[in-house]
Amino acid sequence: MAMSSHDFFGVVDMGSPHKEYYPNGCPLECRHDQMYCSIVSFDQSGLMLWEDYCEDGEANNWHCPVICQADSAQKCGTGFDEYCVSLGETCPVICQEQYCWTDNYAANGDWLSTTESCATWGEQCPCGAESVRCTDPNNADDSWCSPTFYGCPLICNELTEKTCFPISFTPE
């Protein structure tokens, strides 16, 4: 495929008969004491875009700052864990102790959503909307949340009870 010079905006002459062509102009070139960093944004379809720039390496301890374009992105995380997400997304919950994922149900027992929250160690995570906490009589530390519509299952005490499955030979 033949290329004409008017199809391209950038030409880099590498000091030889070979030339490199760039459709969007010449690439960014940073000095030896600079680093390549990016400003993050998102297009209409949610695709992440980067706009490169040069940043002073020594002044920033050779760590690029996280910069999110305010009209399409927001910053999540802290410290070295910072990153950008689109404005349509939400940043995840950041906990110092334990994460909780709480399921919310409709009155008929259908799952609706899951929400994130934090709890201190040793504290139980909360049950969501239309749910009830169930416990295992054989293990007091074992509990979970079940839709209120279904309630908690019957669990027999392994030491003092046995599970029976009644069999009926009549139509009712």
First-to-last alpha carbon distance for the chain, in angstroms, is 80
- The amino acid sitting at 109 is G
Cα dist. 62→37, 54, 66, 73, 87 in Å?
A: 10, 12, 13, 24, 28
Specify the pTM.
Answer: 0.50
| The pLDDT value given to residue 5 | 39
> How far is residue 12's CA from residue 56's CA, in Å, rounded to a whole number?
25
Task: Give me the DSSP letters along the chain.
Answer: ----GGG-SEEEE-SSS-EEEETTSPPP---TTEEEEEEEEE-TT--EEEEEEEEETGGGTT----EE-TTTEEEES-GGG-EEEETTS-PPP--SSEEEEEEEE-TTS-EEEEEEEEE-TTSPPPP-TTEEEEEETTEEEEEEEEETTT-PPP---TTT---------S--
Would you write out the chain's pLDDT as a tens digit for each of its 172 residues?
333 334 444 545 555 566 777 777 788 899 999 999 999 999 999 899 999 999 999 998 999 999 999 999 999 988 888 999 999 898 888 888 898 999 999 999 999 999 989 999 888 999 999 999 999 888 878 889 999 999 999 888 888 888 888 888 887 6
